[in-house]
Structure 1
Amino acid sequence: MPLWSRAQQQDFRSRVRGCLLGGAIGDALGAGIEFESLEKIRAAHGPQGVTGYVPAYGRRGSVTDDTQMVLFTVDGLIRAHIRRDGGSWHPPTDVHQAYLRWAATQRDWGPDERRADLGWLGREEWLYAQRAPGQACLSGLTGPDAERLGTLDAPRNPHSKGCGTVMRAAPFGLLVAWEPGLVFQLAVECSVLTHGHPTGYLAAGALAVIVHAVARGGTLEEGVHLALALLSERPSHEETTAALRGALDAVRAGEPSAERIEALGEGWVAEEALAIGVYCALVAHDVKSGLLLAVNHSGDSDSTGAICGNLLGALHGETALPPTLLAELEGRGTLLELSDDFVLELLHGPELHGGELRTVWAERYPIA
């Protein structure tokens, strides 16, 4: 990592926090209406649909499996960078291990203190809750061969392209020192851990590259066109490419609306969730308006809200996030702590891996 000025470091931290918190806010906005039609949403909440949090999972501001998996993605990326200092470098392995720790939160009552690999995130008791996890994510990370690493040649769930592959992909784009092609490839390799259909993993790669572009200070439009260029080099890219082009066409088609969103799909599959999230981010007047647009439709509202929030948060930084929505957000402290640890690792990793801090950091992020 090159030396950064203080202003550059502050900007990066703001974008990382914005990306993770923004995604969680979008997730929580959609959590209470995820399985409802637009007609029912409007009947229950008025012609504008929801305009803030509605109760889900026993409270307002609850997040779902989308945010849970994003947290564990970041945890895996931190550990991968720590391991690199020891001469071992294969990030998909560390991300896979992190996802296995997430899978444990979906079956266990709470953290197993006998496990030395949990780290601080795996001991957060509030994460031990099922929030409508995707079946491909669960099946890809459980069962007798759960430890098998899915690869592009032998992916897990080879026919699945559910949105569970794309709603967790934003953190790869925060690796701003990497080249876009490598970010794309890493997101793909970590998608096939649970979802093996090309459209599923290519949609994840596309989102990562768009986040990467804006986290580096570019525009959303630049990110989308870069993603399209990288997609064109991949076999079986047609569905993902068509979805992104559909999002761009929708921007030019006129005033944003829920009906225009529904023409892009419902978001249950990866390319539709990507298209809706990108479209809403592109037409957003501000973060809140974009997020509300992204959740008020008949479909996977929490995932499309999360994707839109990841993009707008990375684009504008944490200070652009609506304070009234931040105040009630479940897990806000955990998200902030993990965001800052990610920034510390990327900017100051060698300083954390030796001397007096070595033990502290190893306890937070243990590696075998």
Structure 2
Amino acid sequence: MTTEKERDQAERYRSRVRGCLLGGAIGDALGAPVEFMTLAGIRAEHGAAGVREYVADHSDGTPRHGLVTDDTQMTLFTVEGLIRAGVRADRGTGFTPAPVHHAYLRWLDTQLHDAPTGRRDGLLQGQRWLYARRAPGTTCLSALEAVHERAGAGRIPFGTPAANNSKGCGGVMRSAPFGLLATPAWSQEPPVFDWAAEAAGYTHGHPTGRLASGALALLVRRLVAGDGLDEALEATLAELVTRPGHEETSAALRAARAAARDLPVCAETVERLGGGWIAEEALAIAVYAALVHPGPEEFTDALALAVTHSGDSDSTGAICGNILGALHGETALPPELAFEVEGRGTILELADDFVWEFTAGRRLHGDHGPHTRWSSRYPGS
């Protein structure tokens, strides 16, 4: 029998999963239109307070607001890949992030085609709105295209690291879902840092690209577990420094913490942390914005600060939204932004499915449980 405390914990967990994923999409959509603008240009168009509302996209002749980019797309495919990894684990293979690699190839299809082709399966593959190419990272595309070309011949198995030395932010911006994995699905604490780092390595070969991704996953993990932001950051740094090659990521996070403590809260301080084009800088900017605007009522303030700079605004906004969504849950999301973000229905549907897989998977599938249509929705590959 489920106790009231257990029900409260389950509701809190679900709220934080939904908040993390939808918050990331909101930050992504807020920052995307200004990604390639200078700080001066952003201020000239949006004022000193920065970007606080969606900029309309007129590319198809009618104004559309809240459009997301590859950051949200790849995050959703990460979620779908993790669900399918959970289904696959029931076959006795153990849990491995390799199905996430396969999920990224399904994302690649959405970038190479205008509509579903029927070549691949899965819930997301049929979502027409995902077939939009919005400045996807060239490193992600080239790394996945190399696998796409050779995996069919068995020459590159899923889970093989990318053969490049990139530390672009394309790995870290999609890594938050690893931190959302629920403890009850395992008999011991899941190694979310390692899994996120491995998955980032499918496209980004530099150690910093992998370690920044692992750090974000662990930060989100601690927030979902109930830590405050300062406590979660301290735990993340403590784990990070045990990893070879951690120096760039550790220095960036310490710089973000020092900036939040000692420097004025403004876009100029953001730009001292970098442009966000590389992994450790994107993470640092997002963490800084969350540290100086940590309250649930400050969600929009944090996102506006995270995206108002001369750099990779959609990625820094997405990561900041992931962090604050995991910290506060979905009730803190600004409704004036949340209601019209692209793909909201799919994002929340996938969030709920993620929660069910990792808290109640045995009621959906398993060798010793019922066999529902869940495995058709999420094949274990």
TM-score range, shorter chain: over 0.9
CA 1:308–1:239: 2 relative to 1, 3 Å: same
1:335 aligned partner:
347
In structure 2, what is the equivalent of residue 324 of structure 1? 336
Q: Which amino acid aligns with 2:263?
A: G
Q: Separation in 1 of the partners of 2:39 and 2:151?
A: 37
SS at match of 2:165: coil
Given candidates 175, 179, 182, the residue that maps to 2:181 is 175
Give the match for residue 109 of structure 1.
114
Is structure 2 residue 44 aligned with structure 1 residue 43?
A: yes
Cα offset for 1:181? 7.0
User: What's the counterpart of residue 27 of structure 1?
Assistant: 28
Q: Report if the CA contact (8 A) 2:102-2:158 is conserved.
A: no
Alignment correspondent of 2:200: 191
The residue that corresponds to 1:360 in the other structure is 373
Q: Which moved more, 1:284-293 or 1:236-245?
A: 284-293
User: What is the number of residues matched between the two proteins?
Assistant: 363
Q: Which amino acid in the other structure matches residue 345 of structure 2?
A: G
TM-score, structure 1 normalization: 0.94
Tell me, yes or no, if structure 1 residue 124 matches structure 2 residue 100. Answer: no
**What are the Cα deviations for residues 113-138 of structure 1, in whole angstroms up to 9, with x where unaligned?**
2x3x5222111111011011101111
Task: Please state if 1:279 is matched with 2:288.
Answer: yes
Distance 1:218 1:283, change over 3 A: same
Q: Cα offset for 1:74?
A: 0.3
Decide whether aligned partners of structure 1 residues 131 and 180 sit closer, same or farther in structure 2, where only a CA change above 3 A counts.
Answer: farther
Unaligned runs of 5+ in 1: none
The answer for the alignment partner of 2:79 in structure 1 is 74
Question: 1:48, CA displacement in angstroms?
Answer: 1.9
TM-score normalized by the length of structure 2: 0.91
Q: Name the aligned partner's letter for residue 130 of structure 1.
A: R
- Give the corresponding residue for 2:140: 137
Greater Cα offset, 220-229 or 77-86:
220-229
Matches within 5 A, 1:3-22: 5-22=6-23
What SS does the corresponding residue of 2:93 show, helix, strand or coil? coil
Name the SS for the 1:86 alignment partner: helix
Preserved CA contact (<8 Å) 2:50 2:305 = no
Does the aligned pair in 1 maintain the 2:362–2:369 contact within 8 Å? no
CA distance, structure 1, for counterparts of residue 263 and residue 380 of structure 2: 51
Give the residue type in structure 1 aligned to 2:141. Answer: L
SS at match of 1:87: helix
Partner deviation per Cα, 1:78-118 (whole Å, 9 max, x = no partner)? 011111111122422110010010011000121122x3x52
- In structure 2, what is the Cα distance between the partners aligned to 1:120 and 1:80? 14
The answer to whether structure 1 residue 252 and structure 2 residue 261 are counterparts is yes
1:96 maps to 2:96: no
CA contact (8 A) 1:163 1:303 kept: yes
Q: CA-to-partner distance for each residue in 1:44-73, whole Å, 9 max, x for gaps?
A: 122222220002474210000000000000
Q: Distance in 2 between matches of 1:110 and 1:222?
A: 44
**For structure 1, which segment, 307-316 or 357-366, has the greater mean C-alpha deviation from structure 2 after superposition?**
357-366
- Output the CA distance in 2 between the equivalents of 1:281 and 1:357: 43
Unpaired runs of 5+ residues, structure 2, are none
The one-character-per-residue Cα deviations of 1:156-191 (angstroms, maximum 9, x if unpaired) are 143100000100000000013166671100011111
CA contact (8 A) 1:17 1:339 kept: yes
Aligned to 2:307: 295
- Aligned partner of 1:136: which letter? T
Q: Is residue 180–residue 212 contact of structure 1 (8 Å, CA) maintained in 2? A: no
Q: Distance in 1 between matches of 2:81 and 2:107?
A: 11
Equivalent pair of 2:98/2:158 in contact (CA under 8 Å): no
* Structure 1 position 231, deviation (Å): 1.4
**Offset of residue 194 of structure 1:** 0.4
Aligned twin of 1:204: 213
Percent identity, aligned pairs only? 57
Counterpart CA distance in 2 for 1:223 and 1:180 is 16
Q: Shift of the alpha carbon at 1:230?
A: 1.4
| Contact 2:30–2:66 (CA under 8 A) maintained in structure 1 | yes
Contact 2:27 2:320 survives alignment (8 Å): yes
Is 2:318 aligned against 1:306? yes
Instruction: Answer yes or no: is the 8 Å Cα contact 1:96–1:149 preserved in 2.
Output: no
- Range with bigger deviation, 293-302 or 283-292: 283-292
Q: Distance in 1 between matches of 2:210 and 2:109?
A: 23
